[in-house]
């Protein structure tokens, strides 16, 4: 289990830029095809942009065509948790950072082999660390 990171709303507002704050702390979604990582193909790991927890490896990244970074598996299952999300008239499974509760995106059951999962994640919730 990773380290818990607890910060006040005011601290998050100071540390994050506007879009990061709205997505990671207020569950907004960045515009499709607008993020810095949706086409990113370098080898490395993707960390939580809020707390630095390691979330995804570039090896599990695939091009979903959705306009958001997409992964078929987490790097470490314990690093994230899911919640049922019925907002915006949809039934989705929200993915959150287990360390700091950042909203990362959603996971869908239409991903590629081997998992069949598609983690659809906002670029601004991630921070890339090259190998």
Residues that bind Fe ion (CB under 5 A): 48, 50-51, 53, 97, 99-100, 102
Contact in structure between 58 and 49 (CB atoms under 8 Å): no
> What's the min distance (Å) between Cβ of 97 and Fe ion?
3
**What's the min distance (Å) between Cβ of 84 and Fe ion?**
20
Tell me the closest approach of the beta carbon of residue 95 to Fe ion, in angstroms: 11
**Residue 120 falls in the annotated catalytic set:** yes
Selected catalytic residue, list 48, 50, 97, 120: 120
Name the H helices within the chain. 9-15, 18-20
Q: Which whole-number Å values give the CA distances from 113 to 23, 61, 80, 93, in the listed order?
A: 28, 12, 21, 19
* 105, 125 Cβ separation under 8 angstroms: yes
CB closer to Fe ion, 82 vs 112 = 82
Residues forming the active site: 120
């Amino acid at each position: 289990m990773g380290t818990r990171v607890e910060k006040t709303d005011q601290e998050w507002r100071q540390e994050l830029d506007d879009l990061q704050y709205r997505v990671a702390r207020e569950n907004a979604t960045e515009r499709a095809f607008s993020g810095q990582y949706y086409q990113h193909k370098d080898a490395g790991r993707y960390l939580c942009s809020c707390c630095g927890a390691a979330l995804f490896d570039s090896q599990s990244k695939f091009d979903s065509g959705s306009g958001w970074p997409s992964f078929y598996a987490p790097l470490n299952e314990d690093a994230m948790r899911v919640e049922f999300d019925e907002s915006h008239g949809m039934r989705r499974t929200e993915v959150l950072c287990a360390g700091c509760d950042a909203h990362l995106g959603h996971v869908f059951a239409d991903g590629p082999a081997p998992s069949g999962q598609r983690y659809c994640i906002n670029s601004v919730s991630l921070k890339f660390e090259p190998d």
